[in-house]
Amino acid sequence: MIFSKLKNIVSDVLFPPICLICKNYLEDIWKEKFICEKCLATVPINTGFYCSECKKRMPNYKKICHPSPAFIYGAATTYNYEPVKNLIWQLKFRGQRCAAKALAEVLSIYCFREAIDWKKFHGIIPIPLYHSRERARGYNQSEIISKILINNLKQIYGGSTSIDLLNGVLIRVKNTEIQTDKNMQERRFNLENAFSVVDLEKIRNKNFILIDDVFTSGATLQSSAQSLKNAGAKRIIALTIAKV
């Protein structure tokens, strides 16, 4: 115990923990979040959920706007907020895994405010990367965010929340092209049959939370959610840090 405390003190001296947004030093619990209380308070948090078909906001996530989409979705904030966009960029393209902790904190606040009934869901499924892309990056950012979110939920709700991470039940079987320069129709065609369910028994007649970093066109989430629906999943909510 003493050695652990000394190690932490030395680590803080050599590598002072700073907020990834304002670059000020962090103290106490904020050291583990990589974002300070002041910066976190400035992040605009959304309310309600959205229809993945028309993007219309739905104050009550039980309400169905269009019956055809395989999921409804919630985005914690907007991608147009520069500090959040920068954090996502650091996580995805700069190898800064610690940015996932700050982003997961934003998502945790949104989830808490929306009072999601976690007992009705059987697991959290991070959107998988194609194996070569994950190998090149060294990690799956959605998986890291999912793990931190689950840990945050357990701290908030204690033993009343026992939702698990279901990693590996949904896999990416198609090495899709970069989506940036594609229109909606091209994005959907690019992601057609991109995902596959490995373990049908873990999916059939159950409800799930899908986690991704950004909602742009919704094509990735639609393709993955449809694969889960085809495997027998009942209800799916997709959560992202931000939406464009």
pLDDT in tens, 197-231: 999 999 999 999 999 999 988 889 999 999 999 99
124 and 68 fall within a common domain = yes
Pair (153, 66) in one structural domain = yes
Q: Which residue has the tokens 């808490």?
A: 112
Triad 58, 61, 67: Cα angle to 5°: 80
122 and 168 together in one domain = yes
45-71 tens-digit pLDDT: 999 998 888 888 876 655 567 777 789
Residues 160, 116 within the same domain: yes
CATH of the domain at 178: 3.40.50.2020
Collapsing DSSP to helix, strand or coil, 66 comes out as coil
Distance, C-alpha 5 to centroid of its chain: 32
Q: What is the pTM (predicted TM-score) of this model?
A: 0.87
What is the three-class DSSP state of 221?
helix
70 and 172 within one domain: yes
Residue 66 CA to residue 146 CA, distance in Å, equals: 27
Domain extent, residue 231, equals: 49-243
Task: Give the bridge partners for 50, in sequence order.
Answer: 57, 73
Is the domain of 160 the same as that of 81?
yes
- Looking at the structure of the chain, the number of domains it has is 2
